[in-house]
Amino acid sequence: MAYGGYTYIDKKYVPAKDDFVVLVWASGTVPVEEIAEALAAESSVGTWTKLKTMNEKVFQKLKARVFKIAKTTAKSGLIWIAYPLEHFDVKNIIQFQASVLGNVFGLKELTSMRILDIEFPEKYQKQFPGPFGGIKGIRRYVGTEKSGRPHLGTIVKPKVGLTPREFAAVAYEAYMGGCDFVKDDENLTDQRFCPFRARFEEMMEVIDRVRSETGRKVLYAPNISDRYERMMERLDYIHFHGAPMVMVDVFVVGYSALQEITGEARGKRTFIHAHRAGYAAESRGEFGITFAVHEKFYRMLGVDQLHVGTGVGKMEGSPLYIKRLRDIVALQKLNEKLYLGSLAQEWDAKIKPVMPVASGGVGPGIVDAMLALHGKDVVVQAGGGIHGHPRGTRAGAKAMRQAIDAAVKGIPAPKYAKTHRELAEALKKWKYMPPNTVKKLLAQERKRAKTLRKRALSKGIKEIEKHW
């Protein structure tokens, strides 16, 4: 088997310490070995035909090596590819994308392809700074290092339309009800009805007021997403005013600008809240990149808070899959859990843990179940679940805080609600989801890991997706 006159399959190859390992699902109109050859060639040194310009030294030094294939059918399966570190430019994520996440998607013999995971070697990680604050830094700022409780955040709703003063008034109520964190929505930036600076100034007043009335330090993440110059200008502006955090729609902004922003923000000791709007466009179809891959880049570049999904709310992702996405940003070391299409990952010490954000359809009724999955190192973030409370934002935030307190104490929300009015009102409007379903599911999957792994190997992406 070969592609363009060269062969890239080497089943005896053992990935070196500095290699990247990429796990791919692919199916096509030709045997899976041929697909594997094509992927390895096109993403490294090869092309469709033999080259007069190729030499053995270049080929051996820079080629990608397919070291394992698990066939599902003759024309589909999981493929493991190793890439040498030298193949990749220093600190250049764009070049990485153009190689590993590039042309391969367009090869016409493919009928489906997913980049399921990438294991990044330590040497590559070391080229990046990692988060400036991450979980620890944010906790230090808010003052929750000791208690270790989950943070409560909100997105001001409606998403767009409020004036700066109206926006800040909603935020004030949210903080006073117990929110640690308020953010703009992903589609609110600098529109005429709510200019960035006017909103920011109103918010600074609110934050000072909350500080003087309660003694609490709370956070606000203004959405700076825009073309590069504007983002830099806004970063300067908020820094000049002594504010500690910005928000970026990281996926749609793209890596090139994001890398500049994270670098600049780090120099200014500014936290970054990373919203992932748009990521699902490339992870829910026949061709795509799993969000786990992007998370790893975001962590290396150094965002401090990152949306990872809830597992039980309104957005896609099963509990087990979301647990994996959460662990990738929050833990220092991950074992291989192949049945879910994942690889092992060990993070360099300076690539610190990022605070996961669980958001999307969150209300007091699902906090128990959500924390059973996420643990305490998480921002529990609710928009509709706070501003939709029958008695408004302040009561909504109180109800959320009560739900979090109950979960941390191990008391079911309905029981806690007997002595907590706001929670009781919320549970009348929104259903309660007991945590047992999530706990059972996680335990079962863990127990059946071996069987699931075998089935995933024999049945491929459809089987893996069942657990996503």
Q: Give catalytic residue positions.
A: 157, 275
| Site membership for ligand CAP, residue 350 (CB under 6 A) | no
284 binds ligand CAP (CB under 6 A): no
Q: Does 360 bind ligand CAP (CB under 6 A)?
A: yes
Q: Which of 153, 311, 384, 435 binds ligand CAP (CB under 6 A)?
A: 384
Does 365 interact with ligand CAP (rule: CB under 6 A)? no
- Which of the listed partners (Mg ion, ligand CAP, none) does 382 bind, with a CB threshold of 5 to 8 Å by partner kind? ligand CAP
Residues 174-233 contacting ligand CAP, CB under 6 A: 185-186
CA distance 461 to 464: 5
Distance CA 460, CA 38 (A): 20
Q: Which does 314 bind (CB under 5 to 8 A by kind): ligand CAP, Mg ion, none?
A: ligand CAP
What DSSP string runs through 199-255? HHHHHHHHHHHHHHHH----EEE-B--SSHHHHHHHHHHHHHTT--EEEEEHHHH-H
Cβ density class 91-115: b for 16+ within 10 Å, e for less: eebeebbebbbeebeebeebeebbb
Find all residues with CB under 8 Å of 66, minimum gap 6, and list them.
8, 9, 10, 11, 36, 37, 39, 40, 79, 80, 81
Work out how close the CB of 106 gets to Mg ion at its nearest, in angstroms, rounded to a whole number: 32
With respect to ligand CAP, which residue has the nearer C-beta, 15 or 313? 313
Q: Is 356 in the site for ligand CAP (CB under 6 A)?
A: no
Strand segments, DSSP code E, in 236-377 are 245-249, 271-275, 287-289, 305-307, 333-334, 345-346, 355-359
Rounded Cα distance, 87 and 355, in Å: 32
Which one of Mg ion, ligand CAP, none interacts with residue 361, CB within 5 to 8 A by kind? Answer: ligand CAP
Residue 276 beta carbon to Mg ion: minimum distance, rounded to whole angstroms: 10
Q: In whole angstroms, how close is the CB of 144 to Mg ion at the nearest point?
A: 24
Q: Which does 362 bind (CB under 5 to 8 A by kind): Mg ion, ligand CAP, none?
A: ligand CAP
The three-state (H, E, C) secondary structure of 135-190, written as one string: HHHHHHHHCCCCCCCCEEEEECCCCCCCCHHHHHHHHHHHHHHCCCEEECCCCCCC
CB of 458 vs ligand CAP, minimal distance in Å: 31
Distance CA(100)–CA(117), nearest Å, equals 11
Nearer Cβ to ligand CAP, position 110 or 362?
362
DSSP assignment letter at 377: S
Q: Which is nearer to ligand CAP, 100 or 203 (CB)?
A: 203
- Return left, alpha or beta for 375; rule: phi > 0 is left, psi -120 to 50 is alpha, else beta: left
Name the one range near ligand CAP by CB under 6 A: 2-10, 100-108, 294-302, 376-384. Answer: 376-384
Residues of the shown chain interacting with Mg ion in the complex, contacts defined by CB under 5 A: 185-186
For tokens 């230090």, name the residue.
140
302 sits near ligand CAP (criterion: CB under 6 A): no
Smallest distance from ligand CAP to CB 336, Å:
25
Binding residue for ligand CAP, selected from 101, 248, 382, 404, defined by CB under 6 A: 382
CB of 309 to ligand CAP, least distance (A): 5
Residues in the chain, how many? 468
Q: Does 266 bind ligand CAP (CB under 6 A)?
A: no
Binding mask 309-348 for ligand CAP (x = CB under 6 A): x----xx---------------------------------
CB of 395 to Mg ion, least distance (A): 22
C-alpha triplet 82, 88, 94: angle, nearest 5° = 115
The residues binding ligand CAP (CB under 6 A) are 155, 157, 159, 185-186, 276, 307, 309, 314-315, 359-362, 382-385
